[in-house]
């Protein structure tokens, strides 16, 4: 007597975000081919940003869980290759659990770029952000204040510690008046926010960055836009704080809502306010220094991570009598 066991077949369509699609498929679809080889009885077809699965109910269920794990991997590490796919297929938990051995890594950025604190004071900034809801990072250009702050914000968002990132700057730059610049407000402001975008492009895939902006998960705006708001469950960065007035900085700090974290960056040597106007950053250092929940981190020439000549240039200006 011949026993015939009927296998229940099923079909499933998995929609992938554009930011994950290329990494999940792999170069010349090599990642998907690894999955297909592991499940020869099932069909996996890629069309646009969708994966069409056809096979036994059990196998399709396993493939769906595998793809979800691979998406989580790409979201965390920024890249995927056939070897890693094989590791997930083997369910080698020992290897997977030991992928991160460097405790100093803040996050894995775009295309797997490793982003970490590079200097002693940058490490202090990272540690301070973990234990304080408000941190001031003060130091000259090139010390990685803003870059590190943005990395910490992206990390908090990815780990679902916050629901959104808000990055703001005062619209005062080197004595220039925005009103005389061409274009609408966005076109006037964007050049001043370019360093922020440059940092974000290191940390997020272009499609994911675009999606965050469109869904208002990531908001980049001039400081004036913060007035009258309460910023809840957000990681908020105020950049170039030396160009705020005391009232502006007070306004900003009092926007802080529940479960929010703030990093304020500034350079006391590059104040572009009128000479008779006190800097909000200098005012805050005097008034808030003794509050236990607020941490002040000072960075200096030893933290400069740009070209080595930048350190010498900063020293030359610092030591000049003029």
Residue 194 forms part of a structural domain: yes
The answer on 154 and 128 residing in a single domain is yes
Which two three-digit tokens encode residue 260?
A: 């929010």
* Per-residue buried b or exposed e for 102-126, using 16+ beta carbons within 10 Å of the residue's own CB: eeeebbbbbeeeebbbebebbbbbb
Q: For residue 236, what is the enclosing H or E element?
A: strand 234-238
The answer on 65 and 175 residing in a single domain is no
Instruction: Give the model's confidence band at 166: pLDDT under 50 very low, under 70 low, under 90 confident, else very high.
Output: very high
The answer on 122 and 79 residing in a single domain is no
Q: SS3 for 219?
A: strand
Number of domains within the chain: 2
Instruction: Give the model's confidence band at 231: pLDDT under 50 very low, under 70 low, under 90 confident, else very high.
Output: confident
Count the residues in the chain: 322
Residue 232 forms part of a structural domain: yes
- Checking if the pLDDT of 5 tops 50, the result is no
The answer on 92 and 188 residing in a single domain is no
- The residue among 218, 204, 214, 207 whose CA lies nearest residue 49 is 207
Question: In this structure, is the dihedral angle defined by the CA atoms of residues 303, 306, 309 and 310, taken in order, positive or negative?
Answer: negative
- What is the reported pLDDT for 125? 95
The answer on 111 and 27 residing in a single domain is no
Which of 42, 67, 97 lies at the terminal end of a domain, its last residue?
Answer: 97
CATH of the domain at 219: 3.40.50.300
Which two three-digit tokens encode residue 296?
A: 């002040």
- What is the reported pLDDT for 294? 95
The answer on 247 and 172 residing in a single domain is yes
Instruction: Give the model's confidence band at 79: pLDDT under 50 very low, under 70 low, under 90 confident, else very high.
Output: confident
Supply φ then ψ for residue 239, to 5 degrees: -100, 155
The answer on 251 and 214 residing in a single domain is yes
The answer on 72 and 36 residing in a single domain is yes
For residue range 108-157, list pLDDT tens digits in order. 888 778 888 888 899 999 999 999 999 999 998 889 999 999 999 999 99
- The residues, ordered by sequence, that sit 6+ positions from 22 with a Cβ below 8 Å of its Cβ are none
Residue 124 forms part of a structural domain: yes
The answer on 180 and 307 residing in a single domain is yes
CATH of the domain at 89: 3.30.1370.10
What average pLDDT does the chain have? 84
What are the Cα distances from residue 23, in Å, to 43, 47, 49, 276? 20, 15, 12, 54
Residue 2 forms part of a structural domain: no
- Checking if the pLDDT of 282 tops 50, the result is yes
Which of 74, 97, 120 lies at the terminal end of a domain, its last residue?
Answer: 97
Which of 47, 71, 97 lies at the terminal end of a domain, its last residue?
Answer: 97
The answer on 153 and 230 residing in a single domain is yes
The answer on 156 and 124 residing in a single domain is yes
The answer on 179 and 39 residing in a single domain is no
Instruction: Give the model's confidence band at 175: pLDDT under 50 very low, under 70 low, under 90 confident, else very high.
Output: very low
For residue range 9-57, list pLDDT tens digits in order. 788 888 888 777 888 888 888 999 999 999 988 899 888 888 889 988 8
- The residue among 78, 87, 85, 99 whose CA lies nearest residue 20 is 78
Pinpoint the alpha helices (H) of the chain: 18-25, 30-38, 57-77, 82-90, 93-97, 120-131, 145-158, 185-203, 206-214, 246-253, 280-288, 308-318
Q: In this structure, are residues 73 and 31 in contact, taking their beta carbons and an 8 Å threshold? A: no
Q: For residues 159-175, give the mean pLDDT.
A: 81
For residue range 84-120, list pLDDT tens digits in order. 888 888 887 666 666 655 567 888 888 778 888 888 8
For residue range 287-314, list pLDDT tens digits in order. 999 998 999 999 987 887 666 677 678 7
Residue 58 forms part of a structural domain: yes
Range of the domain at 313: 105-318
Which two three-digit tokens encode residue 159?
A: 């780990």
Long-range CB pairs of 193-198, under 8 A, 24+ apart, other chains included? 193/167, 193/169, 193/220, 195/146, 195/239, 196/146, 196/150, 196/167, 196/169, 196/220, 196/239
């Amino acid at each position: 007597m011949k026993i015939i066991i009927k296998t229940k077949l099923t079909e499933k369509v998995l929609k992938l975000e554009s930011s994950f699609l290329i990494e999940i498929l792999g170069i010349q679809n090599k990642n998907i081919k690894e999955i297909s080889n592991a499940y020869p009885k099932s069909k996996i077809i890629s069309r646009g940003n969708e994966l069409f699965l056809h096979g036994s109910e059990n196998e399709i269920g396993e493939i769906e869980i595998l793809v979800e794990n691979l998406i989580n991997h790409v979201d965390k590490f920024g890249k995927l290759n056939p070897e890693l796919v094989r590791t997930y297929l083997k369910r080698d938990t020992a290897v997977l659990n030991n992928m991160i051995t460097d405790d100093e890594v803040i996050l894995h950025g775009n295309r797997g770029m490793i982003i970490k604190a590079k200097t002693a004071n940058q490490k202090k900034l990272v540690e301070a952000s973990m234990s304080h809801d408000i941190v001031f990072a003060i130091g000259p250009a090139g010390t990685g204040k803003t870059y590190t702050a943005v990395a910490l914000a992206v990390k908090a968002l990815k780990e679902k510690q916050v629901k959104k990132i808000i990055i703001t700057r005062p619209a005062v730059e080197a004595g220039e008046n925005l009103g005389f610049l061409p274009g609408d407000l966005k076109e006037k402001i964007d050049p001043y926010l370019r360093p922020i975008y440059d940092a974000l492009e290191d940390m997020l895939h272009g499609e994911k960055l675009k999606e965050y902006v469109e869904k208002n998960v990531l908001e980049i705006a001039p400081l004036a836009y913060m007035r009258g708001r309460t910023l809840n469950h957000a990681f908020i960065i105020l950049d170039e704080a030396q160009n705020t007035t005391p009232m502006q900085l007070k306004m900003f700090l009092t926007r802080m809502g529940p479960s929010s974290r703030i990093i304020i960056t500034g350079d006391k040597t590059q104040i572009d306010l009128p000479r008779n106007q006190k800097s909000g950053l200098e005012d805050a250092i005097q008034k808030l220094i003794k509050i236990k929940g607020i941490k002040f981190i000072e960075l200096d020439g030893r933290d400069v991570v740009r070209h080595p000549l930048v350190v010498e240039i900063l020293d030359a200006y610092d030591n000049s009598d003029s």
